[in-house]
A and B are shown apart, each in its own frame.
Chain A
């Protein structure tokens, strides 16, 4: 947890933050509601005497009292996907509807891609790219299990992705759930911080800027580009979005989330960011007992 100390100045009640980060995360699944009702999934878990409680603010996320949700009928049937709460936040913010053509730029292993498929009811196209061949097989496996026929999976470095051979000139919306240092994932993976280094943080910033810039270029005027990470480092969050706002070509919009979150910051270690970054949201484990996360909603200029 020592590498998280650098955030003591920007996180309220830092001791509570560290204490929450040391607690394991509860196990949740997201229901593929275009395939099955939440009630039927709850009944199916109850038939197997598995304790389950849908979250009050979003019933399609169900907390389970087991630690292997994959060993259940609803998972085998592709009705649910084991997915932590913060991972369920980005897709609905893209404002997609059936028929849309969407880019998920860093898609593997496919939790958020599957969520996007659900939101468009498997009608339309979600182009899911990732640059790691090993992770692509997990992506394909998860999407097919969730019954996705509207997904196209392709190996690509998102910074240079060209969808024109697919007959796609621009996307209605894009999701950049960027590769990151994963500081916010320690509750499910305690080793997440073991190889943390400032050099890694800074080099990822360049990759993240490249991907986000490409997503802005490939998204239609007026379309949403959602940027998210599961890390706290401002170098990977506000600094990345700040550079993209600086390019012009997009604005950042306020986000409504159903639980307490913190605003994005507008300065870090002597560097000032565009004040609009306070519209982004920082999600800390001690606020709503979740993993850590960062979300910024960008709208491409018309």
Chain B
């Protein structure tokens, strides 16, 4: 079911979920095991499903089921064999991550933001990684990439891909 055809949200169960509709504990465990994000990061949030495998994250709790066009943000897709965090959730919660973060230099980051696939040296896990680059001296999480066979594929949604404007490499007139 497409993400945008239904307006019905169901709160994920506290326990007893399955592979596609996970329970809250499974979601918290996944963020912690994959990225080292402490479950307390989400303690003020509840998780909801709208359409099989589309997991949303909202501040606070709300009546279940809930009818709306949007309830917080889409944070996770659980339909595939490997769960895939969204770009927005990576940017929102990724600051708390400690593992499976790949750091790019600025030109690699520009290629990633534009949607590119690039060969890259990485000896960590394959699969979905958080992608970071240094911004004003500190790392910032840009989003999510898929690392397979020596290549990092950008999974930035088409509507968010951009060719970054950077005048620092332009020669002075």
Q: Which residues of A contact B (CB under 8 A)?
A: 40-41, 43-44, 47-50, 66, 68, 70-73, 75-78, 122-125, 136, 139-141, 143-145, 147-155, 165-167
Partner of B74, one of A44, A71, A144: A144
Asked whether, in the complex, the Cβ of B135 is within 8 Å of the Cβ of A167, the reply is: no
Q: Which residues of A contact B67 (CB under 8 A)?
A: 154, 165
Residue ID in chain A nearest B57 by CB atoms = A149
Q: Does B15 contact A (CB under 8 A)?
A: no
* Cα distance, A43 to B109, chains bound together (Å): 17
12 A-B residue contacts at CB 8 Å? A44-B136, A49-B168, A50-B165, A50-B167, A73-B164, A78-B91, A122-B59, A124-B60, A149-B72, A149-B92, A153-B69, A166-B68
Rounded to whole angstroms, the CA-CA distance of A147 and B170 in the bound complex is: 32
- Bound: A119/B74 CA distance, A: 22
Q: Are B70 and A140 in contact (CB under 8 A)?
A: yes
Shortest beta-carbon distance from B134 to chain A in Å: 9
Contacts of A140 in B (CB 8 A): 69-70
- Comparing B21-29, B121-129, B145-153, B155-163, the segment that makes contact with chain A is B155-163
Residues of chain A lying within 8 A (CB to CB) of residue B138: 40
Whether A77 pairs with B135 at a CB distance below 8 angstroms is yes
Chain A residues within 8 Å of B1, by CB: none
Asked if B80 is at the interface (CB within 8 A of a chain A CB), the reply is no
Residues of B within 8 A of A47 (CB): 135-136, 168
B113 within 8 A of A: yes
**CB of B58 within 8 A of chain A?**
yes
CA of A89 to CA of B154, assembled, Å: 37
Residues 82 to 101 of chain B near chain A (Cβ within 8 Å): 88, 91-92
Q: Is the CB of B45 within 8 A of A149?
A: yes
B137 interfacial contact with A, CB 8 Å: yes
Verify if B71 is at the interface (C-beta below 8 Å from A): yes
Q: Which 5 A-B pairs have the closest CB atoms?
A: A153-B70, A43-B136, A49-B167, A150-B59, A71-B165
Q: Is there a chain A Cβ closer than 8 Å to B55's Cβ?
A: no
Is B43 interfacial (CB 8 A cutoff)?
no
B35 at the interface (CB under 8 A from A): no
Q: Which residue from A75, A123, A154 sits with its C-beta under 8 Å from B68?
A: A154
Known interface pairs A48-B165, A73-B135, A136-B69; A147-B62 also in contact (CB < 8 Å): no
A153 CB → nearest B CB, Å: 3
Determine whether the beta carbon of B70 is less than 8 Å from that of A147: no
B135–A44 CB distance below 8 A:
yes
Chain B binding surface, main DSSP class: mixed
Given contacts A125-B59, A144-B73, A151-B70, contact A49 B92 (CB under 8 A): no
Q: A77-B142, A149-B57 given as contacts; is B66 within 8 A of A166 (CB)?
A: yes
* Among B70, B135, B168, residue most surrounded by chain A Cβ atoms (within 10 Å): B70
- Mask of B43-82 contacts with A, CB within 8 angstroms, 1/0: 0110000000000011110110011111111100000000
- Whether A150 lies near B69 (C-beta < 8 A) is no
**B106 to A, closest residue via Cβ:** A47
- Check A48 against B59 for contact (C-beta < 8 Å): no
Which residues from B are CB-within-8-Å of A76? 113, 142, 160, 162, 164
Closest A residue to B157 using CB positions: A141
Question: B68 contacts which chain A residues (CB < 8 A)?
Answer: 152-154, 166
- Which A residues lie within 8 Å of B69 (CB)? 136, 140, 153-155
Closest to B168 in A: A49
CB distance from B74 to the nearest CB of A (A): 7
Is there an interface contact between B88 and A43, defined as CB atoms closer than 8 Å? no
B20 at the interface (CB under 8 A from A): no
> Is B166 close to A, CB under 8 A?
yes
Q: Does B140 contact A (CB under 8 A)?
A: yes
CA distance A151 to B69 in the complex (A): 11
Given contact pairs A143-B73, A167-B62, a sample of 11 additional A-B residue pairs in the complex whose CB atoms are under 8 Å apart: A43-B136, A73-B140, A123-B59, A149-B57, A149-B58, A154-B67, A154-B68, A155-B69, A165-B63, A166-B63, A167-B63
**Distance from A46 Cβ to chain B, minimum over Cβ atoms (Å):** 8
Of all chain B residues, the one with the shortest Cβ separation from A148 is: B73
Q: In whole angstroms, how far apart are the Cα atoms of A140 and B63 in the complex?
A: 21
In this complex, what residue of A is CB-closest to B141? A77
- Assess the B164–A72 pair: CB atoms within 8 A: yes
Contact A147 B135 (CB under 8 A): no
Distance A244 CA – B91 CA, assembled complex (angstroms): 42
> B159: nearest residue on chain A (CB-CB)?
A141
**Is B164 a contact partner of A149 (Cβ separation < 8 A)?**
no
